Copies of this chain bind each other. A is one copy, B any other.
């Protein structure tokens, strides 16, 4: 079999329930043996829990989630039934401002981290301090898409990995110039991680091992991936 590069995606199990103030880096370091260049993907949910981004919500009020989503938004783009598509303070366009009631205790809602890139940097620093290993970190969340049904996981924060790898100007296989191939590798890594996380399996961390070492370095989602309002053709 003529094989080139390969990537392995590993689910990290045993993390258990995360509570406000928990040390995520310590919990991950306890359950995973990290290697240099690994990308550690953690779901927004456990980051929000560890950071105490949980708020009370009336479980009997069907409009409570939408009202909360609106307070978390800077712009409401569309409404349809119980769904509200908003632009969050970060600039993410997503359903319900990312407010999420699944996998949280009854009567509580998880909000997005205030600064998911910072969350990723802190976790990366914590993992380095505990393990001595340089890894990259991606905070992932599950977003819908304008033109396609179904949700996929994307990166809402990252550290130690370039968010978008610019292949403009590199030659294609026929020696011609590529004109616009800026690949959002952090979103692709987040999607790859989701394949082993599952939604009901309660696996909030995965390791993506073997990504191109040239992608590692300084990167951020908010500044590099979020499309600014004035560049947007569809908002």
Contacts and interface: CB of A to CB of B under 8 A. Distances in A.
A56 B147 CA distance: 30
Nearest to A177: B102
Interface stretch (A113-121, A122-130, A197-205): A197-205
A194 interface: yes
Interface of A: 1-14, 31-33, 77-78, 80, 85, 92-93, 101-106, 142, 145-154, 163-164, 167, 170-174, 176, 178-185, 187-189, 191-192, 194-196, 198-203, 208, 211-212, 224-227, 232-235
Contacts of A185: 150, 195
Contact of A12 (B3, B7, B182, B192): B3
Copies in the complex: 2
Contacts of A200: 167, 170-173, 178
B151 A181 contact: yes
Contacts of A225: 148-150
A63 to B, nearest CB: 15
A100 B174 CA distance: 14
Nearest to A59: B176
Given A4-B13, A145-B145, A171-B200, 20 more contacts: A2-B12, A4-B12, A7-B9, A77-B234, A102-B179, A102-B181, A103-B176, A104-B174, A142-B181, A146-B146, A146-B234, A149-B225, A172-B199, A172-B200, A181-B199, A183-B194, A188-B195, A189-B195, A192-B192, A195-B211
Contacts of A14: 2
A148 B152 contact: no
B9 A105 contact: no
B12 A31 contact: no
A35 B155 CA distance: 31
